[in-house]
């Protein structure tokens, strides 16, 4: 079902493209030897190159190039063996040289794609137009002094990848799914930590609207620097609504840059008319064109980890998990690894059920992540083994898992300590059932006269009498036999 907004003149379709700025994971900055680490005392992660001192020159960091190529491979994109760095000229307090070094005319990565899964189970392909490397700016701090802004250049020169999507996104949900998927790919490859709170992933959102069936795009607005997936989705919604109102009132939407205010849930124009930008891009004469070898690209490709889509396909084929289960299990590499550790040597289907159910519930309850899970993959595998070999039944296993989370003891130790071993002795089961039937002769009569539903009652009573330890299959089988006597 296509996403539509209904205005006073009928339905509208939205058209969205995203420009994601992802901070490259590297030790040093894009063009200097200063640390790229987040934080640090003000102006300490700064070299004289970053601060734009006279005569200082940029030298490109190889790892940042490799990270861009890896990301490009992860987006199944064209890798441009020839690319170039340009200067984008503008004045700002946190831009020391008066220009940002970026790749304008010749980006390192060309067209690629991202597959996104939607809630209704469908999949959409969102095109990636390009990915290029550029420098981050420093930070202006406005709230420390009534008349002055303070400048910290620690971020200045840190490598960013700008990943530009095609205007293929048609709903806030798709935008969210695209961002999540992109972040997942970056994290898998290890090229960006995707930490939006620290600003290591930010998005500029291009929004326009049109009537369904229109083939041309209408004027778009760019919402700058949105720093969470939720805000991106909200911003699209309110901006689309605003534009629809403008069109429907007979006005026209101006191409402009806007800011999203999540408190007021509105977008605001950032435009100041007299200050039109003219970035005067030209090739940076301090740098040579970037020429990379196909053989190096091939090496990087060979060393890439398994990517989310491939991993899902493999888990589905190898372990028989469903499309939905594979999407949850592959959200993070660590989860998929955890699952595989459990599934190897256990019932893989059972493992998927337990991970998605009780295990994730236990993580949520304890506020722990997969990395510091209170139960190890080996521990969970042991527990599932006890179910499979009929040592305990599923219901008892839930109790054992809770105990494992609480005490850190192993499943078998808990089973022994609490005496939870399942009763498979048919004699004991038969004797327990006979006691129940003897105590409920009226119900036995009712059952025999056709009230089949009472079977469940007898199962429940039997299990209760056996403190839950009865082997469910044997209990059922014996009950059926005795009731038909």
Partner 1 sequence: MSGIHDFTLASARDALKARKISAVELTNAHIDAIERLDGQLNSFITRTPDQAREGAKAADAALAKGEGGNLCGIPLGIKDLFCTNGVRTTAASKILGNFVPPYESTVTANLLKDGAVFLGKLNLDEFAMGSANLTSAFGPVENPWKRKDSEAKLVPGGSSGGSAAAVAAGLVLGATGTDTGGSIRQPAAFTGIAGIKPTYGRCSRFGTIAFASSLDQAGPMARNLQDCAILLESMAGFDPRDSTSVDTPVPNYEAALKRGVKGLRVGIPKEYHVDGMHAEIEALWQQGMTWLRDAGAEIVEVSLPHTKYGLPTYYIAALAEASSNLARYDGVRFGERVSAPSLDGLYEASRAAGFGEEVKRRILIGTHVLSSGYYDAYYLRAQKVRTLIQQDFLKAFENVDVLLTPTAPSGAFAQDEKPTDPVQMYLNDVFTVPASMAGVPALSVPAGLDARGVPLGLQLIGKFFDEETLIAAGHAIEQAAAFHHRPTLHAGVSA
Partner 2 sequence: MSLDAKTVTRIARLARIGLRPEEVETLGQDMGSIIDWVEQLKEVDVTGVDPMIGTGLAKPRLREDRVTDGDCRDKVLANAPEREGPFFTVPKVVE
* Integer CA distances (angstroms), 389 to 164, 196, 393, in order: 52, 45, 9
Q: Is 55 in the site for partner 2 (CB under 8 A)?
A: no
Distance CA 286, CA 86 (A): 10
Cα gap 162→108, rounded to integer Å: 11
- Measured CA to CA in angstroms, residue 361 lies from 336, 357, 358, 369 at distances of 17, 6, 5, 11
Q: Does 310 bind partner 1 (CB under 8 A)?
A: no
Residues 279-318 as x/- pattern, contact with partner 2 by CB under 8 A: -x--x-x--xxxx---------------------------
Segment interacting with partner 1 (CB under 8 A) among 53-61, 232-240, 366-374, 430-438 = 53-61
Closest C-alpha to 75, from 114, 108, 21: 114
The least CB distance from residue 46 to partner 2, in Å, is: 5
Site for partner 1 in 139-158 (CB under 8 A): 149, 151
- What's phi and psi for 267, nearest 5 deg? -110, 150
Choose which of 27, 44, 48, 261 interacts with partner 1 (CB under 8 A). Answer: 48
Span interacting with partner 2, options 34-42, 337-345, 373-381, 476-484, rule CB under 8 A: 34-42
3-state secondary structure 323-357: HHHHHHHCCCHHHHHHHHHHHCCCCHHHHHHHHHH
Cβ atoms within 10 A of the Cβ of 198, count?
12
Candidate residues 13, 16, 32, 237; the one interacting with partner 2 per rule CB under 8 A = 32
Q: Does 261 bind partner 2 (CB under 8 A)?
A: no
Q: Cα dist. 6→250, 420, 425 in Å?
A: 16, 59, 66
Using CB under 8 A as the binding criterion, the count of chain residues that bind partner 2 stands at 51
Report whether 215 contacts 147 (CB < 8 A).
Answer: no
| Site for partner 1 contains 402 (CB under 8 A) | no
First to last CA, the chain: 57
Residues in CB range of 458: below 8 A, 6 or more apart: 433, 436, 437, 440, 443, 447, 479, 483
- The 66-105 contact track toward partner 1, x by CB under 8 A, reads ---------------------x-x-xxx--xxxx------
CB 64 to partner 2: min, Å: 7
Q: Residue 49, interface with partner 2 (CB under 8 A)?
A: yes
Spatial strand order of the sheet with 86-89 comes to 99-102, 86-89, 282-283
C-alpha–C-alpha distance, residues 442 and 158, integer Å: 80
Does position 133 interact with partner 2 (CB under 8 A)? The reply is no
- Residue 469 pairs in a beta bridge with none
For β-strands 10-23 and 86-89, DSSP reports them as unpaired
Smallest distance from partner 2 to CB 156, Å:
11
Which listed residue (195, 230, 248, 288) binds partner 1 by CB under 8 A? 288
What does each C-alpha distance from 202 to 18, 19, 165, 194, 210 come to in angstroms? Answer: 10, 8, 14, 9, 26
250 touches partner 1 (CB under 8 A) = no
Segment contacting partner 2 by CB under 8 A, of 45-53, 227-235, 298-306, 312-320: 45-53
Shortest Å distance, C-beta 90 to partner 2: 9
Q: Out of 153, 169, 244, 415, point to the residue binding partner 2 (CB under 8 A).
A: 153
Q: Looking at beta carbons only, is 93 or 334 nearer to partner 1?
A: 93
| Closest C-alpha among 242, 249, 267 to residue 257 | 267
Asked if residue 280 binds partner 1 (CB under 8 A), the reply is yes
Which of partner 2, partner 1, none does residue 56 bind (CB under 5 to 8 Å by kind)? partner 1
Q: How far is the CB of 84 from partner 1 (least distance, A)?
A: 12
Q: Find out whether 294 and 300 touch, Cβ atoms under 8 Å.
A: no
Which of 36, 51, 185, 244 binds partner 1 (CB under 8 A)? It is 51
Could you say which residues in the range 201-230 bind partner 2, by CB under 8 A? Answer: none
Q: Binding marks (x or -) toward partner 1, 254..273, rule CB under 8 A?
A: --------------------
Closest separation in Å from C-beta 288 to partner 2: 5
d(CA 78, CA 56): 33
Window contacting partner 2 (CB under 8 A); options: 8-16, 42-50, 203-211, 465-473: 42-50
The Cα-based distances of 385 to 141, 319, 407 in angstroms read 57, 16, 20
Q: Which residues bind partner 1 (CB under 8 A)?
A: 48, 51-60, 87, 89, 91-93, 96-99, 149, 151, 278, 280-282, 285-288
């Amino acid at each position: 079902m296509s996403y539509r907004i209904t205005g006073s003149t009928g339905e509208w379709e939205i058209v969205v493209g995203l420009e994601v700025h992802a901070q490259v994971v590297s030790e040093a900055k894009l063009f200097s030897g200063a640390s790229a680490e987040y934080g640090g005392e003000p102006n300490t992660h700064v070299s004289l190159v970053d601060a734009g001192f006279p005569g200082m020159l940029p030298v490109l960091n190889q790892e940042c190039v490799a990270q861009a190529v890896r990301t490009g491979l992860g987006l199944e994109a064209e890798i441009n063996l020839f690319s170039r760095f340009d200067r984008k000229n503008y004045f700002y307090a946190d831009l020391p040289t008066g220009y940002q070094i970026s790749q304008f005319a010749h980006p390192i990565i060309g067209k690629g794609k991202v597959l996104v899964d939607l809630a209704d189970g469908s999949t959409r392909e969102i095109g990636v137009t390009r990915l290029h490397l550029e420098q981050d700016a420093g930070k202006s701090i406005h709230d420390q002094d009534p008349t002055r802004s303070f400048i910290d250049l620690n971020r200045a020169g840190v490598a960013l990848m700008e990943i530009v999507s095609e205007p293929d996104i048609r709903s806030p949900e798709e935008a969210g799914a695209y961002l999540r998927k992109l972040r997942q790919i970056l994290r898998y490859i290890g090229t960006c930590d995707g930490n939006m709170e620290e600003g290591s992933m930010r998005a500029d959102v291009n929004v326009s609207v049109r009537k369904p069936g229109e083939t041309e795009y209408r004027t778009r607005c760019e919402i700058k620097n949105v720093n969470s997936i939720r805000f991106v989705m909200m911003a699209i919604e309110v901006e689309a609504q605003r534009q629809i109102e403008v069109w429907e009132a007979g006005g026209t939407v101006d191409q402009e840059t806007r800011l999203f205010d999540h408190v007021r849930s509105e977008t605001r124009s950032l435009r100041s008319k007299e200050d039109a930008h003219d970035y005067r891009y030209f090739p940076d004469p301090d740098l040579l064109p970037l020429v990379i070898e196909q053989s190096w690209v091939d090496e990087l490709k060979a060393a890439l980890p398994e990517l989310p889509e491939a991993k899902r396909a493999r888990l589905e084929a190898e372990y028989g998990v469903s499309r939905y289960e594979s999407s949850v299990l592959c959200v993070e590499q660590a989860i998929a690894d955890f699952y595989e550790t459990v599934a190897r040597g256990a019932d893989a289907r059972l493992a998927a059920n337990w991970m998605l159910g009780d295990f994730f519930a236990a993580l949520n309850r304890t506020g722990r992540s997969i990395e510091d899970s209170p139960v190890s993959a080996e521990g969970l595998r042991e527990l599932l083994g006890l179910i499979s070999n009929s040592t305990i039944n599923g219901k008892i296993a839930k109790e054992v898992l809770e105990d494992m989370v609480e005490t850190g003891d192993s499943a078998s130790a808990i089973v022994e300590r609490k005496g939870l071993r399942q009763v498979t002795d048919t004699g004991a089961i038969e004797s327990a059932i006979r006691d129940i039937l003897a105590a409920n002769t009226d119900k036995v009569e009712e059952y025999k006269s056709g009230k089949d539903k009472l079977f469940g009652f007898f199962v429940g009573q039997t299990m209760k009498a056996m403190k839950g330890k009865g082997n469910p299959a044997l209990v059922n089988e014996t009950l059926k036999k005795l009731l038909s006597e």
